[in-house]
Every structure is written in structure tokens, then in C-alpha cells.
């Protein structure tokens, strides 16, 4: 069973396909789930339209929430995405391109289980990219007084969901569902089918709104008296015989898979809709009377919160009380730089892909004498140079017989967000984007002062080896 808490991003191990009928259009829909590169996210591709436009599964692209969730971008629309989204999230799939030849995802049996079976056939594979989980800094609350909806996301080291439904129905009553671990999604939540009330079904049929509807893809709740004529009409519409109301107030088309299957399906919808936040996050979600419109509004609030604190999550922690990985003397043994051009003071983190350095900026820096006298600002080019030196600690080999020089080949996407002045402590992070080949290294650099991002850049450099001079 796949765990949602992989430390790296995941995609499908191979291409998978599934087909079925769209509940609203009645069209036969074919879907191909294709593996995608890291950081792609979940993207729908309308292959039936000219130029096959793409629609990212993101809350900012939601255009409709009436009975299902619909996204639209680049002139393309895709609806009823929530069950597929829940299946992907529940199985830890971060990156996938969903090729679809119609405007809605097929309803299948009204649950996420057919999508789970499709994913299981090909499996999920890990990718060479870290997966960052964002955490909440405080409770996030959404309330809709008119619909009597209350939703809250609590800071939590995991992903747990509680749902409570109450439709004032004598048949359903008040139901509760709980998912403590996302790893239980496939068995406890995915099989739960959508439901509707008999009087809603009549309205949908009268208005030709469920052309692809089938009496086997929804639980039909009968909570008001109905006549034999009404039941016969439903039977005829779906070309079924012997349809009748069971003693429990459920149309005899289906047997419940769980006593609280409707509440569990609402939980499934919450997972699918909150996946549109677009960033993996940990929280305890409590949802009272959730629905697609409320879920999407709640997802927007969560996304706004995470975006606000996203930079904070990326800032490397710095504890000056801890001994450094490299002090200044160890740095001098590795880098071909010396005062006044050695621009980092110590290394506080080093692994195969990431290095973090510290630079204490003081008024005694030699460049302040000639750069904006009276208005001390560290030159941006020197900030980039400090990043490059930080990257050198990671990429220059430990070789007793040779020294190495590094030369810039390219600097892209370089941005300076805030001034650096005397008294600032720079936290410089360099991340290797691809393995070093033929001395060429590609790195992504960021500089922080406290909680502020002050500079960032993508850099390509060449490492040149030369014999060490013998003394």
C-alpha cells in the first residue's frame, strides 16, 4: 500500500487508461493517465480540442461547483474531477498528465475505487525530487451561515479528516466519517459512492441533466413518500425492472458498502477538492456539512495561508550554537578564494544535493568603502558570487592532487528582493538541480535574511581541474 508521506515526489510507473460515461453529457469518455516530470502536479489535457490545451488541477481554475467540481483554463474545461483527484492523492501520486477526450471525467460506479484499480495495475514510482509538506501556522476556519457549513483545518503532523453530514433526513440521520491515516483511503473511503435524494433524481431527469446517469452509480435516498407511479417512472428512465423502496428508505438499486457510506463519500469529496490547493500539506480537517462549493472556498483559504508561509518553510534553520560543518579554515582548503573575496564564513549544512552557508555582513566589508558611501548596500553581484562560492563547497571534489577553479557560464532568473546592509546575517542555500557532468554544474540559489528572501538565481558554472602546485 502506498503511503502519502513519501519524502520524494511520485508519479505512475507506467501509462494507464480507463473509460466510462460522463454523467452529465452521456458521452463515452476515455482517460489516459501518463507519468509526468517532478513538479508537474496534476494536469488535465483535452486531447479532443485543437492544440490539446492543458488545465492545471488548481483551486484558482475552478469555475463551477454545482453537484461536482469543474476547472477551466486555456479555453478548455474539465468537470467531475473530484473522485479521480481523491484517488491520486490517496495513493501519493504527485505528478501526472490526465489525457481526456471530453469535458468531464467518467462517473463509473460513483466512487473512486475504479480509479484506484487503474492506478494499482501500473503502480506508483518514486522520483528524484524532494516532496515538501507545508504545515499550518494556526487554525484556518471557513463558515457559511446560510448553508450551515463549518470547516476548520488544525495544525497536525499528518493528514486526518472528520466529516459530519446532516440533511435533516429521517433516512440518513446524522452521520460521521473519520479517516485517521491517508494510507487507509483505498479500503475505507475509495469504495464509497455518491448519493442523491429521490426528489433530486426526478428534477435531474426532468431537466435532462444526467444523460449519462445510471441507477448503479449512485445511492438513491427516499426520505419523502413516493408513489408507485414515481418509482415506475424512475425504473423506465434507467431501463431497470423491479425497482422499489427498501425498508431502510434506500432504493433497492444498491446495497450499502458501509452503514455510513454517504458520510464517507462526502469525506472522499473533501480529499479530492482539497487536493486543488496544489501544495502537499499536513492538517487535521474537520468538516461539518461539506459540499463542493464550501470545499473549494475552504481550499482557497488554505492555499492563501500556505503561500504566505511558503518562503518560511523553505528557509534553512540556523542555530549559531551548533558547530559548523566547515569553519572558515576548512572552507579555505576547499575554495580557491581568499580575503577580501572570500564571501562565506561557515557551512552549516551539507548533503549530496544541498549546501547551506552563512555570511555575516559587517560595516568593515572592503566593498562598502566604494559602493554607495553613506548608504551601505551589499552589491547584488557579490551576493551572487557568495552563492557561487557556497555551491563550490558542494561541487568541487575533494582531491589532494589538484586544485579547481570555477567559472560562470550562465545566470538565469536572478532577482533581488530586499537590500542587504551591515548587520545582516545571510543564509545562503544552493541546491544541485542535475548531476554534475563533465564539470558542468547547474544549481538553484536562494539567500535569506531572517524570514525575508533577499535574492535568488539559477546558475550554471564549469569546474576546471588543474594540478596542485608543489611547495
Residues taking part in catalysis: 292, 371
Which grid cell sits at 367?
566593498
DSSP state, 366? G
From CA 253, how far away is CA 241, in angstroms rounded?
A: 10
Buried b (16+ CB within 10 A) or exposed e, 360-385: ebeeebebbeeeeeeebebbbebbbb
Q: Residues in the chain, how many?
A: 471
Cell match 551572487: residue?
384
| CB atoms closer than 10 angstroms to residue 393 | 20
From CA 98, how far away is CA 210, in angstroms rounded?
A: 23
Decide: 402 and 467 in contact? Cβ < 8 Å.
yes
3-state secondary structure (DSSP) of residue 470:
coil
Q: How far out from the chain centre does Cα 126 lie?
A: 15
From CA 446, how far away is CA 428, in angstroms rounded?
A: 6
β-strands 96-100, 42-46 pairing: parallel
From CA 278, how far away is CA 257, in angstroms rounded?
A: 31
Q: Which residues pair with 56 in a beta bridge?
A: 43
DSSP state, 59? G
Which grid cell sits at 185?
483511503
Cell match 429521517: residue?
170
Residue 307 host element (H or E): helix 292-314
Q: Which residues, 6+ apart, have CB-to-CB distance to 355 below 8 Å?
A: 347, 349, 390, 391, 393, 394, 429, 430
Decide: 227 and 233 in contact? Cβ < 8 Å.
no
CA dihedral 271, 199, 24, 295 (to 10 degrees): -20
Residue 185 host element (H or E): helix 185-188
Q: Which residues pair with 130 in a beta bridge?
A: 8
Amino acid at each position: 500500500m502506498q503511503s502519502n508521506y513519501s519524502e520524494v515526489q511520485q508519479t505512475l510507473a507506467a501509462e494507464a487508461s480507463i473509460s466510462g460515461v460522463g454523467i452529465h453529457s452521456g458521452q463515452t469518455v476515455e482517460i489516459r493517465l501518463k507519468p509526468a516530470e517532478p513538479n508537474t502536479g496534476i494536469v488535465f489535457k483535452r486531447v479532443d480540442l485543437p492544440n490539446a490545451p492543458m488545465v492545471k488541477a488548481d483551486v484558482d481554475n475552478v469555475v463551477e461547483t454545482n453537484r461536482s467540481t469543474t476547472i477551466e483554463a486555456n479555453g478548455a474545461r474539465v468537470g467531475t474531477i473530484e473522485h479521480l483527484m481523491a484517488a491520486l492523492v490517496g495513493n501519493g501520486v504527485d505528478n501526472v498528465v490526465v489525457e481526456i477526450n471530453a469535458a468531464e471525467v467518467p462517473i463509473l460506479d460513483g466512487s473512486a475505487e475504479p480509479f484506484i484499480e487503474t492506478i494499482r495495475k501500473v503502480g506508483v514510482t518514486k522520483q528524484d525530487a524532494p516532496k515538501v509538506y507545508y504545515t499550518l501556522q494556526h487554525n484556518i476556519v471557513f463558515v457559511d451561515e446560510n448553508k450551515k457549513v463549518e470547516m476548520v483545518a488544525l495544525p497536525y503532523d499528518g493528514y486526518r479528516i472528520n466529516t459530519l453530514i446532516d440533511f435533516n433526513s429521517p433516512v440518513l440521520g446524522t452521520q460521521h466519517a473519520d479517516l485517521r491515516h491517508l494510507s487507509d483511503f483505498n479500503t475505507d473511503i475509495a469504495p464509497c459512492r455518491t448519493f442523491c435524494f429521490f426528489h433530486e433524481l426526478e428534477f435531474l431527469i426532468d431537466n435532462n441533466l444526467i444523460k449519462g446517469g445510471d441507477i448503479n452509480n449512485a445511492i438513491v435516498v427516499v426520505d419523502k413518500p413516493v408513489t408507485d407511479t414515481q418509482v415506475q417512472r424512475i425504473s423506465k428512465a434507467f431501463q431497470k425492472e423491479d425497482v422499489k423502496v427498501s425498508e431502510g428508505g434506500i432504493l433497492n438499486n444498491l446495497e450499502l458498502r458501509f452503514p455510513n457510506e454517504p458520510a464517507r463519500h462526502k469525506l472522499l469529496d473533501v480529499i479530492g477538492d482539497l487536493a486543488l490547493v496544489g501544495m502537499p500539506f499536513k492538517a487535521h480537517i474537520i468538516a461539518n456539512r461539506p459540499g463542493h462549493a464550501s470545499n473549494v472556498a475552504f481550499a482557497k483559504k488554505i492555499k492563501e495561508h500556505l503561500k504566505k508561509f511558503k518562503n518560511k518553510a523553505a528557509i534553512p534553520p540556523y542555530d549559531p550554537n551548533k558547530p559548523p560543518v566547515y569553519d572558515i579554515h576548512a572552507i579555505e582548503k576547499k575554495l580557491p578564494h581568499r580575503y577580501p573575496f572570500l564571501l562565506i564564513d561557515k557551512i552549516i549544512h551539507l548533503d549530496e544535493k544541498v549546501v547551506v552557508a552563512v555570511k555575516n555582513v559587517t560595516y568593515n566589508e572592503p566593498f562598502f568603502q566604494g559602493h554607495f558611501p553613506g548608504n551601505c548596500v551589499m552589491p547584488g553581484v557579490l551576493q551572487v558570487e557568495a552563492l557561487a562560492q557556497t555551491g563550490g563547497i558542494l561541487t568541487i571534489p575533494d582531491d589532494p592532487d589538484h586544485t579547481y577553479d570555477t567559472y560562470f557560464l550562465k545566470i538565469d532568473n536572478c532577482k533581488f528582493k530586499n537590500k542587504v546592509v551591515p548587520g545582516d546575517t545571510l543564509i545562503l542555500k544552493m541546491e544541485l538541480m542535475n548531476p554534475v557532468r563533465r564539470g558542468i554544474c547547474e544549481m538553484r540559489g536562494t539567500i535569506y535574511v531572517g524570514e525575508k528572501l533577499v535574492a535568488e538565481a539559477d546558475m550554471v558554472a564549469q569546474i576546471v581541474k588543474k594540478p596542485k602546485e608543489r611547495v
